Structures are given as structure tokens and as C-alpha cells.
Amino acid sequence: MWIIADYQPTAFFSLRPHMATSSGGKSLVVPTPFAIKSALLDVAIRTQGLERGRARFAALRALEIAVRLPRQIVVNNTFNRILRAARSPAPGQWPYQRTIAFREYVQYGGPLALAFRGMDAADLKPLLAQVNYLGKRGGFMQLCALPEAVETLPEDFTLLTAGFGDSFPLGTLQVVDDWGEDLTFERLNTYSDQRITAGKHRIFHHIVLPHQQVRSSRGYTLYERA
């Protein structure tokens, strides 16, 4: 049984790939399983309490997640002024230096649909209703309607929690991260001394979205579903 929730983006989406630097902030065009599961865990803790959130952790970690993007996606390119920590500030000197950074912001041309399998609907639906942003803070989303349950995942969904296998379908390649099987609640807890190791607790795989680049210029790139 799959639970499908449609979200209407109310702001630009941005989520840097794991290899991006603070100066070269390219963005993925899709929220990753790591970001989505972390958002659901955050909601569980804020609305149901720490112990209920801890109890939901294993079920959230095992979730299968798929996505259906709108037909058109625009990635806007820009340069922003930022403050970056100075490498060796003198005593009494302002510890930050002004610089510029490249940023990308994604505009969806319609609702974003997310599908979930592996968790009881009665536990998952209240969490989905409380998710209001994905990716970096400011990527606001609003649930369009009550999530619905379906037996079979529609063909226009792309599975985010598994790679594309041996064949390489036509589309746009993305590298997404996910919670690994060895990830624990304490490692994800920002107040804990335990750390997350890339490749073990935070795993990566490739997916192919059914979208192709159809137009681009200095300031934007337009993708459309093939």
C-alpha cells in the first residue's frame, strides 16, 4: 500500500548536493530521502514529543519513497553576497569576511507528489499534514489535500530510495542521499556527540528523473518531463 501526498510549493526549493561547497551552491531538483525522512522525524518530535519521535525512527528509516515532479521545472541561477568565517582573523577583528557565492533556486511548475510505503497510514498521515518545508529552510510546501492510499504506484513516479539498476533510462541524473541501515536516532540527534559517517550512516545512490533540459541561458535552465 502506497500513501500519496501532493504538496504545492509556495517558495523556491533549494538543496545542495553532498559534494557542493558553500561558495558553489548548485541545487538538486528534487528533495532527497534523507531530507524527507528528517522532515517527518522533526514533525513527529515537535507535535508528538521526543519519545514518540524516537519510537517512529525505525519505521521512518525503512520507508520507501517515490516522487512525481511537475511537467516543468525551472532552475534559476544567481550570485549572492554572503558572510564566511575568516580563516585567521586577528584578535579583536570581525570574524567573518564578505564574499559572493553561486546559488541555484528551483521553481516547480505545479504540485510535487510524494509516495510512501512501509509505515502504517494512521501513523504517517498526521506527519505528512505537518510538513511545511523541504530542503533548506525557506523551501515552503503546503499540503494540497488529504493523503490517499493506492495499491499500486503509478508509472509516472520515480523511486528515490533505490538506484536505477543496470539500465540507464533517458532523463536527468541526480545523486541523492538516504538514511543508512546503521543510522541510529542518537547519530541523527544534533545534541549528541555521535557523528554520521558518509557511505555508512548516510548513503548515496543515483536516480534518473524523467525530465530533459529543453532551454537554458545565463540565468536559468528549463526542464520538461520527457
- What are the pLDDT digits (tens) for 176-206? 999 999 999 999 988 888 999 988 999 999 9
**Whole-prediction pTM value?**
0.89
- What are the pLDDT digits (tens) for 44-70? 999 999 999 999 999 999 999 999 999
Which tops the pLDDT comparison, 18 or 129? Answer: 129
- The phi, psi pair for 121, rounded to 5°, reads -60, -35
Q: Which helix (H) or strand (E) holds 39?
A: helix 33-48
| SS3 readout for 98-160 | EEEEEEEEEEECCCEEEEEECCCHHHHHHHHHHCCECCCCCCEEEECCCCEEECCCCCCCEEC
Determine the number of helices (DSSP H) and then strands (DSSP E) in the chain: 4, 13
Distance CA 183, CA 201 (A): 5
- How confident is the model at residue 82, as a pLDDT? 82
Cell of 120: 502504517
DSSP 198: B
- How confident is the model at residue 16, as a pLDDT? 87
Q: Supply the mean pLDDT for the chain.
A: 90
Which tops the pLDDT comparison, 166 or 139? Answer: 139
Q: Residue type at 148?
A: E
- CB neighbours of 201 closer than 8 A, spacing ≥ 6? 179, 180, 182, 183, 184, 187
